Amino acid sequence: MKRIEEAKVKKSKKKKNRLVFRSIVLLILFAAVVFALVSNLNKDNAVIGVGDQAPNFELKQMNGDKQSLTLDELKGKGVMLNFWATYCKPCEEEMPYMEALYPEYKDKDVEIVAVSLDATELVIDRFIDKYELSFPVLHDNKGQVLNRYNIGPLPTTFFINEDGIVVEKVAGALTLDRLDGYLKQIQPD
């Protein structure tokens, strides 16, 4: 009798071991597959996405009194960070909306910052004059900020809250209504 008992114990132990072994192997394999799929899906997404800290930068300011602007000095305010260029038509179309909403939101501690990716300062100057832009327009001459934020198509806009966290990332042009909605989201309490 005892031997049969022992054999039974041994058998169930072996069975358990096999189950553990198989589960572990399957788990590792499926984890690898999930990892590959998730990485592949995220490949095209920005390095900087929703929930990330917006990296600081300092760029030359093309309008206003200041020579340059750093993102850090806007801590405590909501920031709309717009990447654009003069030759980009949808960028041009949304500029008047930004200008229209700027005075209202400036008083509510929301700053609009537009980073131009143009090659020459001349074209930016002319553009600022044409649309009488009053919010700060910066020039990313060497494409460093563009690269760090991993910008694909233009325009791309980041909505950053008062803690410097990206709340929303929008690729493509915005309408007045949508812009208003996003700006409300980053308004400090």
Cα 178 → chain centroid: 17
The span of 83-91, 101-109, 163-171, 180-188 binding other proteins (CB under 8 A) equals: 83-91
Contact range with other proteins by CB under 8 A, out of 96-104, 117-125, 157-165, 169-177:
117-125
Confirm or reject binding of residue 123 to other proteins (CB under 8 A): yes
Q: How many residues bind other proteins (CB under 8 A)?
A: 47
- Smallest separation (angstroms) from other proteins to the CB of 56: 7
Shortest reach from residue 144's CB to other proteins, in Å = 5
**49 near other proteins, judged by CB under 8 A:** no
Which span (8-16, 94-102, 105-113, 164-172) binds other proteins, by CB under 8 A?
8-16
> Per CB under 8 A, which region of 101-109, 111-119, 158-166, 179-187 contacts other proteins?
111-119
Q: Which of 122, 176, 178, 188 binds other proteins (CB under 8 A)?
A: 122
Give the integer Cα–Cα distance in Å for 89 and 167: 26
DSSP the chain: -HHHHHHHHHHHHHHHHHHHHHHHHHHHHHHHHHHHHHHHHHSSS-SS-TTSBPPP-EEEE-SSS-SEEESGGGTTSEEEEEEE-TT-HHHHHHHHHHHHHHHHHHTTTEEEEEEE--S-HHHHHHHHHHHT--S-EEE-TTSHHHHHTT--SSPEEEEE-TTSBEEEEEES---HHHHHHHHHHT---
Given the rule CB under 8 A, which residues bind other proteins? Answer: 11, 14-15, 19, 22-23, 25-26, 29-30, 32-33, 35-37, 39-41, 43, 55-60, 68, 70, 85-87, 89, 117-123, 125-126, 140, 142-145, 147-148
